[in-house]
Structure 1
Amino acid sequence: MRAILALYRPYRTLLLLGLVAGLCSSAFGLTIPWILKEAIDRLQEQPAGSTLLFLAGALLLFTLLQGGFRFLARRTIVGISRQIEYDLRNRLYRQWLDLDGGFYDRVPSGDLMARATQDMSALRSLLGAGPLHLSATVILGISAVALMARLNPWLTLYALTPFPVLLWALSMLRHRMETGLHRAQARYQELCGQVQEAVAGMRVIKTYTLGKAMVAAFSDKGEQYLAEEMRVVRLEGIYYPLTGLAGGIGVVLALGIGGQQVASGQMTLGELVAFNAYLAMLMWPTIAAAWILSLWQRGKVAFDRITETLAEEPAVREHPQPIRPSTIHGGIEAKNLTFRYGDGSGPSALSRLSFSIPDGAFVGFVGPSGGGKSTFLGLLTRLRKIPEGQLFLDGIDLTRLPVSVLRQSIGYVPQEAFLLSDTLRNNVALGLEDPEEASIHHALFLACLEDEVRALPNGLETVVGERGITLSGGQRQRVTIARAVARDPRILILDDALSSVDAETEKLILDRLRTHFAGRTILVSTHRLTSIERADLILVLDRGRLVEHGPHGELLNRGGLYSHLWDRYHRREELESVHGAQLTAGKGPELKIP
């Protein structure tokens, strides 16, 4: 409760204004039945007169004032809830950007989307409608009972007899409601994850004709969510009949007993009308109490889920005593580097790596899939937590370098080419402030993309679609390479970033990059071994360990894993060449690569 109330702290003045307006609206509303009582009693005594006109004018005025203050209260408090939602959503987005890769490994993206949408909406309803109706409920409830007691204490006691039973029943349902809402939210996040996976993999789904299977899986998730929501709806459905029953019994008692008292002269007709008007007013707080309880349960569950994300501590943090070098040269050294994914209890993705890369070197990373190449290259950008004293840049422990300084000095091209649904220009210039036109065109030149961009009708202003869907795989990779080199980094990392580019274009790109970045460090991970044949240093990784290192010729002469990979690569190239020639001649041999 205290944490939720703390959200109002920046807006406490506006909140106070809204609550005061709500108080005034309730006060004018409570006055109307009393005026009505006076009017009915005066009408029985004197059917005509200026007093009745005065009371009629007072009714009209108080009704208008009640509506005006209600509008002010609603606009103020609901407006505050929208502003808090805006603030929280920005905090949540910033938190997502601060969290490391390990967080996204264990938290499904559908869960994150549910927290940013449905949970945020439920919390907004609680923060807006909650105080607005809670204040009106408390004021109307207490005041209506007090005014009813003033009119007729014993009749008030009879009319309120069912309400203690109602409050007991609502308290019994509260815990079951909260448990059910937690389960429903969990099913909803699974449903969101199913939708996101289907949209992201739509081409695969269509290619493999998985439409029926995906619809069945989605229907299954939907049925689970529906079942949990229906349990909650059934519990909520008990609230309103209970409140209606309690209010109905109260009205019957008031009319029966009050009617007898009017007939016997113990009450006036105006007093009975006013009493029933206040009893009707009490019905709204009773119904609203159930609705507010439902709002509270949904909003509290949503708030807990949102704050759970906001409370996540980023694993990658700034060192309390950072070192800010004047220049990054690009020398890299690993000393017994060991890394495990997740909570650190699994197998080692990297195990006791030790090597040194001089600044300005062109270095190739090769090895079987799963050898640890991408893991090591990703650690250089500190996208994940790394142990202190095991990875160094220019002799400085990587954990002591400010993250912003480190990442601004690196141009990183990951395996998966990610593009925004934006223009080519904005994708290449991503993260740059006021980039020069010449630098963008030179980046395209280095990525061997300038001719293809020039051939497009809109050139650099061409919108590439979500994730670059309108481009080929090779084009997407080259756009991400252009994005990296446009930053003019001190260290360039290509993590299997040319796998969808033909060998000739790949060679041309690497030649251009090596010429442009002469004197700066270039790290290339690839399975196309001819790409790094002329590298200054080749590091061979297998199962997270460094098994060989050295230049190409030296590694071939050793006859180790690199030599085996080289022979296998060339046999595959030869077989593919023969296969292509035979296809041209109308034959189709089966490829068998040892």
Structure 2
Amino acid sequence: MIEKHPLLRSLAIYREMPWRFALVAALFIAVNLGLVWQQWLIGHAVNDVSAGRAVIRQADGSLDASLGWYWLWLMLAVALGRGVLQYAASVLSLILSQALLTRLRERILHQVQHLHLGYHWQHGMGEMITRTTRDADKVRDALISFWRQVVETPLVVLATVGLLTWYNPMLGLVPLLLTVFGLWIFVRQTERLVHLDRAVGQAYDRVNQDLSEGIGGVRVIKSFGLEHSRIQGFATQVAVFAEHARQALAYSSSRIPLPQAVVALGHVWILGYGAHLVATDRLRIGELVTSLLIATTLVFRIEGIGRVMQTFADARSSAERIWQLLDEPAAIRSGNITLPDTPLGLKLEHVSVSAADGGKAILEDCSLALHPGEIVALVGATGTGKSLLASLLPRLSEISAGRLLIGSDSGGWQDIRQLQLDELRRRVHVVPQESLLFSDTLAANLRFGAAGASEQQLHHGLHLAAASDVLQRLPQGLATPLGDRGVTLSGGQRQRLSLARALLTEPDILCLDDATSALDAISERQVLNNIRQLRRDQGRATTVLVISSKLSTILLADRVLMLKDGRIAADGTHADLLKTSPDYRDLLGIDHG
């Protein structure tokens, strides 16, 4: 049942907070029982007033109002108690709902971080942001309204019908039937509201995606003078979103009053039929007043249900989108085998990787080997799958067939799918061409993979990446904020800082995916020479796979692999491949003659 209803699955998180949930529910029950008691007291007080018992003239001409004062103070005490309980219930329900929202967002973030890259490429940043913000907020609003919808309203309906039936069966039957009919209309309208809100959510996704791309790509947009067209495109997306939102609002505004009017007919019935019962001495005037008061409470509560049902309809669509994300199966699962504490190499044995859409394989029957401590360059034409191959090493993507092995001849080889993910990604590191720096200080960025690194170690990491000069130019040194994505730095500076961050983790296998493309030849040579010497004093030199199309980089490698048609088409030193491989010469633009 719960698995098929995403909003109920969200509400089920309350089970993780049983005591707080029970306390808030008990408070709401007490508040509503107090309301019924208060209105019952009013009826009895009116009966005493109408019968002349509230104020009695004594034989000496004085007035005895003790009974009247009793009713007054009792009703004031009940109202004050209800007010205190209502305040406590409302505050605690907000706290509880925020705690649930926090847990829901933590699960979304955890899932987003653990999903494979293909999911992110398919769904985009805008959709992820929408589900974490707008959708989660709508679920939170429903959880706050949950108490009135699920706890208060049934209690009010039961109390109203029960009290009216106690007074007279027919007095309670008709309002019960009208309330049930009105709620049935609400439920029928909910499906349409869910459909409309789903369209609103999808339009909001596109707005978020367009906005995030417009901010993230502001340099490109300005470079091509596309500000006006981007603004127009964004305005179009906002207009589509606004139109869907208008349709949803128009539907709810025009349809929700109908069931409210149906329930309100019960008030008319109580007034008319109740007056008849009073006229025939089958109902006292105080009981009629109580009936009208509690019926009025029911009408107002049902009117509130219209707004709450709209909130629930919105939240149902949002919860469905959230659980679609949370239910996405993890394509990459951790193994339980640890790597030996020895230098590592890697092997690809007949590896194939299919395209995400199930089309032609990007890598097909690809085999290669890197020995521990070796620096190997990987070259290939654009689109041959070099970056995909790099993403296989720390299991950011998964192979479709074949085996990827990590280890050495002395320590043994292990299939990457059987290894613990955390240890694998600690010892195998990929530095992509796009250098992502976080909106924090330089020190915080460098410590991203080495949280306990000392200031001396940070300076050493910068030296290894030939980035000491970057530090010297920053006004606050290591404490300098770098801005969003390192916007204050040049491309070459960002690449060197990303390299320093990777080298601080002292990986056993390092893959540079065009990560030196923005470096000059001198800096590049310095970086690779530093990497070549990294940890050699510990007897475990880092194995490096350099993906590059720069001749200066290739010349620094021990060996060159050429990727073509999804497999390694050539393997050897640069000098050997120049002699034996026409494709290699064409790729580098070198005339053999």
TM-score by length of 2: 0.90
Summarize deviations over 1:503-523 as a string: whole Å, max 9, x none. Answer: 232222222322335533121
Match of 2:145 among 129, 132, 146: 129
Corresponding residue for residue 496 of structure 1: 514
SS in 2 for 1:369: coil
1:119/1:302 contact within 8 Å kept: yes
SS in 1 for 2:363: strand
Task: Pick closer, same or farther for the CA change 1:554–1:517 going to 2, 3 Å.
Answer: farther
2:508/2:542 contact within 8 Å kept: yes
Deviation of 1:559 (Å): 4.8
Deviation of 1:222 (Å): 2.0
SS in 2 for 1:392: strand
Alignment of 1:138-287 (within 5 A): 138-157=154-173, 162-259=178-275, 262=278, 267-287=283-303
Alignment of 1:281-430 (within 5 A): 281-319=297-335, 322-343=336-357, 345-387=358-400, 389-394=402-407, 395-430=413-448
Deviation of 1:212 (Å): 2.4
2:367/2:567 contact within 8 Å kept: no
Deviation of 1:425 (Å): 0.9
Deviation of 1:57 (Å): 0.2
Deviation of 1:475 (Å): 0.5
Deviation of 1:444 (Å): 0.6
Residues in 1 aligned to 2:159 and 2:581: alpha-carbon distance in whole angstroms: 93
* 1:471 counterpart = 2:489: yes
Corresponding residue for residue 590 of structure 1: none
Show structure 1 runs of 5+ residues with no match.
Answer: 572-594
Structure 1 residues 58-67 or 173-182, which shifts more? 173-182
* 1:118 counterpart = 2:140: no
1:79/1:128 contact within 8 Å kept: no
Residues in 1 aligned to 2:11 and 2:283: alpha-carbon distance in whole angstroms: 45
Deviation of 1:238 (Å): 3.6
Show structure 2 runs of 5+ residues with no match.
Answer: 3-8, 56-64, 408-412
2:386/2:547 contact within 8 Å kept: yes
SS in 2 for 1:418: coil
Q: Percent identity?
A: 28
Structure 1 residues 124-133 or 100-109, which shifts more? 124-133
Match of 2:51 among 45, 48, 72: 45
Residues in 2 aligned to 1:507 and 1:451: alpha-carbon distance in whole angstroms: 16
Structure 1 residues 77-86 or 267-276, which shifts more? 267-276
SS in 2 for 1:7: helix
1:362/1:514 contact within 8 Å kept: yes
Corresponding residue for residue 585 of structure 1: none
SS in 2 for 1:382: coil
Corresponding residue for residue 528 of structure 2: 510
What is the alpha-carbon root mean square deviation over aligned residues? Answer: 2.4
Corresponding residue for residue 20 of structure 1: 26
Match of 2:36 among 25, 30, 34: 30
1:490/1:521 contact within 8 Å kept: yes
Corresponding residue for residue 110 of structure 2: 94
Deviation of 1:369 (Å): 1.6
Residues in 2 aligned to 1:569 and 1:93: alpha-carbon distance in whole angstroms: 52
Corresponding residue for residue 579 of structure 1: none
Task: Pick closer, same or farther for the CA change 1:466–1:563 going to 2, 3 Å.
Answer: same
Residues in 2 aligned to 1:137 and 1:523: alpha-carbon distance in whole angstroms: 65
Corresponding residue for residue 583 of structure 1: none
Structure 1 residues 467-476 or 176-185, which shifts more? 176-185
Summarize deviations over 1:460-512 as a string: whole Å, max 9, x none. Answer: 11100011111111100000000011111112221111111222322222223
Deviation of 1:295 (Å): 3.0
Residues in 2 aligned to 1:194 and 1:456: alpha-carbon distance in whole angstroms: 33
Deviation of 1:196 (Å): 1.2
Residues in 1 aligned to 2:174 and 2:359: alpha-carbon distance in whole angstroms: 68
Residues in 2 aligned to 1:11 and 1:163: alpha-carbon distance in whole angstroms: 33
2:495/2:518 contact within 8 Å kept: yes
1:145/1:278 contact within 8 Å kept: no
Corresponding residue for residue 455 of structure 1: 473
Summarize deviations over 1:219-261 as a string: whole Å, max 9, x none. Answer: 2222222232223223322454224423543334444454465
Match of 1:64 among 56, 62, 80: 80
Task: Pick closer, same or farther for the CA change 1:157–1:373 going to 2, 3 Å.
Answer: closer
Deviation of 1:164 (Å): 4.9
Deviation of 1:160 (Å): 5.9
Residues in 2 aligned to 1:414 and 1:510: alpha-carbon distance in whole angstroms: 16
Residues in 2 aligned to 1:104 and 1:284: alpha-carbon distance in whole angstroms: 46
Task: Pick closer, same or farther for the CA change 1:252–1:405 going to 2, 3 Å.
Answer: closer
Structure 1 residues 442-451 or 543-552, which shifts more? 543-552
Amino acid at match of 1:550: G
1:474/1:501 contact within 8 Å kept: yes
Deviation of 1:447 (Å): 1.3
SS in 1 for 2:350: strand
Corresponding residue for residue 58 of structure 2: none
Structure 1 residues 53-62 or 531-540, which shifts more? 531-540
Deviation of 1:268 (Å): 3.9
Residues in 2 aligned to 1:534 and 1:79: alpha-carbon distance in whole angstroms: 60
Task: Pick closer, same or farther for the CA change 1:516–1:162 going to 2, 3 Å.
Answer: closer
Residues in 1 aligned to 2:180 and 2:470: alpha-carbon distance in whole angstroms: 77
Corresponding residue for residue 572 of structure 2: 550
Corresponding residue for residue 546 of structure 2: 524
SS in 2 for 1:540: strand
Amino acid at match of 1:318: S
Deviation of 1:567 (Å): 4.1
Corresponding residue for residue 55 of structure 1: 71
1:329/1:359 contact within 8 Å kept: yes
2:351/2:401 contact within 8 Å kept: no
SS in 2 for 1:34: helix
Count of aligned pairs between the two proteins: 568
Deviation of 1:288 (Å): 3.3
Deviation of 1:155 (Å): 4.3
